[in-house]
Amino acid sequence: MKKNKLIIILLISLLILSCKSADSLNKKDNFNIQKLKSKKLNIGATIGLVSPASLIKEKHLHESIRNLEALGFKVKYNNEIKSKYGYLAGPDSLRAADLNQMFADDEIDAICAVRGGYGCARMLDLIDYELIKNNPKIIIGYSDITSLLYAIYKKTSLVCFHGPVGTSTFNEYSVEHLKNILVTPKENYKMANLPEDRNNIVTINPGKAKGELIGGNLSIVVSMIGTEYDIDSKDKIIFLEDIGEEPYRIDRMLTQMKLAGKFDNCSGVALGVFKNCEIDKDDPEFEESLTLLKIFKDIFGDLEIPVVYGLSFGHIENKFTLPFGVEAKLDADKGSITLLEKAVR
């Protein structure tokens, strides 16, 4: 009898240990690990230009150099940046090697994509994530660069930045946010639309939320679902934007995210500007379509999380810079995002 009790006790102990181990694995799967931060960017630092997606023209390169030098930075790039492979800026292996080399180069302090387009996803399996982890640097971009940010953050925990590319409009508003996050970082840094853009903000679900920021271009975020580069949305603030997608496509992609459980346990959702995604009122198809606002209310209206539409990020001139993995507060009533910690060290 005592022997049987001892066996039962041992079995229970093993079961408890296995549960703890499973819980530990789940935490790793949920990416609850120490985030990695790059050094802050000093004026005069060297920024490496890369073209990890669509091919670039000479004018794109010159525009990027001019924009970054005007901000007080030096610029460096490799000749591979001018390569062409159909609609891509060179074969996947070449684009990945160029990115890896930028992380390995001690002269490079930060990395900026010249433009987006398409192609980053094709090279994700060729990136040296261990190299990146050992040489953490600021990397910034948006649009198709979203998949690159997802992969690097997922594989290395490096805080990446959803912000301007080299050919973006570096106006006073965008530069202010960029510098206040990368050059002179501040805690409790609040980002809100310009007064003239505040009328564009619509509160879908009221309230405030805290959580780490993840997200980017909706089309790309959806394409990450089911891959090893997808990021767990639990307790995260998801930010989304897009361009040139008809309302039914926005509907389809958000529905996919909802069916995949992405909104089940996230903290909140921040929707940026969905440029050229509405059907014009003069278009005959207008009467047979749904507005974006109606779609957002249909998708998010039954969720008990704060959701706001119209924040200043996306394919627009006035851009927030949003750091992946940084703890933030979303105020869906006032239409603002506040970074609760510095994104660089």
Tens of pLDDT along 115-146? 999 999 999 999 999 999 999 999 999 999 99
CA pair distance 47, 66, nearest whole angstrom:
12
Examine the domain organization and report whether 200 and 325 are in the same domain.
Answer: yes
Examine the domain organization and report whether 192 and 324 are in the same domain.
Answer: yes
Examine the domain organization and report whether 327 and 192 are in the same domain.
Answer: yes
Query: Does 19 fall in a domain?
Result: no
pLDDT tens, position by position, 296-318: 999 999 999 999 999 999 999 99
The two tokens of residue 85 are 């492979």
Of 180, 181, 175, 176, the closest CA to residue 161 belongs to 181
Query: Does 179 fall in a domain?
Result: no
**Chain length of the chain:** 345
Query: Does 180 fall in a domain?
Result: no
The two tokens of residue 1 are 């009898």
- Which pTM was predicted? 0.90
Q: Which of 135, 170, 205 is the endpoint of a domain?
A: 170
Number of domains, the chain: 2
* Domain membership of residue 145 as a residue range: 46-170
What are 24's strand-pairing partners?
none
Of 126, 103, 155, 131, the closest CA to residue 325 belongs to 155
Query: Does 16 fall in a domain?
Result: no
- What are the pLDDT tens digits along the chain (345 aa)? 555 555 555 555 545 445 444 444 444 444 446 899 999 999 999 999 999 999 999 999 999 999 999 999 999 999 999 999 999 999 999 999 999 999 999 999 999 999 999 999 999 999 999 999 999 999 999 999 999 999 999 999 999 999 999 999 999 999 999 999 999 999 899 999 999 999 999 999 999 999 999 999 999 999 999 999 999 999 999 999 999 999 999 999 999 999 999 999 999 999 999 999 999 888 888 888 999 999 999 999 999 999 999 999 999 999 999 999 999 999 999 999 999 999 999
- CATH code, 311: 3.50.30.60
CA pair distance 264, 257, nearest whole angstrom:
10
Buried-state track 131-144, b at ≥16 Cβ within 10 A, e below 16: ebeebbbbbbbbbb
CA pair distance 81, 84, nearest whole angstrom:
9
Q: Is 295 helix (H, G, I), strand (E, B) or coil?
A: helix
Q: Which of 141, 170, 199 is the endpoint of a domain?
A: 170
Examine the domain organization and report whether 209 and 324 are in the same domain.
Answer: yes
Which position has the token pair 């994700």?
A: 124
Query: Does 292 fall in a domain?
Result: yes
Contacts of 327 (CB under 8 A, 6+ apart): 210, 211, 212, 339, 340, 341
Q: In sequence order, which ranges of the chain are alpha helices (DSSP H)?
A: 2-29, 58-70, 92-104, 129-134, 145-156, 172-182, 218-224, 247-259, 292-300
Examine the domain organization and report whether 334 and 204 are in the same domain.
Answer: yes
Q: Which of 170, 196, 226 is the endpoint of a domain?
A: 170
Query: Does 334 fall in a domain?
Result: yes
Of 216, 253, 252, 259, the closest CA to residue 236 belongs to 216
Q: What Rg do the C-alpha atoms of the chain give, in angstroms? A: 22
Per the CB < 8 A criterion, the answer to whether 205 and 307 are in contact is yes
Which position has the token pair 């302090």?
A: 109
- CATH code, 66: 3.40.50.10740
Query: Does 21 fall in a domain?
Result: no
Contacts of 192 (CB under 8 A, 6+ apart): 198, 312, 334, 335, 336, 337
Examine the domain organization and report whether 155 and 52 are in the same domain.
Answer: yes
Give one DSSP letter per residue of 34-66, joined into a string: --B-PPPPPTT-EEEEE--SB---HHHHHHHHH
Examine the domain organization and report whether 335 and 193 are in the same domain.
Answer: yes
The two tokens of residue 294 are 């109606």
Examine the domain organization and report whether 129 and 251 are in the same domain.
Answer: no
Give one DSSP letter per residue of 250-263, joined into a string: HHHHHHHHHHTTTT
319 φψ region: left (φ > 0), alpha (ψ -120 to 50), beta (else): beta
10 Å Cβ neighbour count for 12?
Answer: 10
Examine the domain organization and report whether 154 and 209 are in the same domain.
Answer: no
Examine the domain organization and report whether 144 and 260 are in the same domain.
Answer: no
CA pair distance 310, 242, nearest whole angstrom:
12
* Enzyme catalytic residues: 143, 241, 315
Phi/psi at 168 (5° precision): -70, 170
Examine the domain organization and report whether 76 and 132 are in the same domain.
Answer: yes
Query: Does 163 fall in a domain?
Result: yes
Per the CB < 8 A criterion, the answer to whether 333 and 203 are in contact is yes
Examine the domain organization and report whether 211 and 97 are in the same domain.
Answer: no
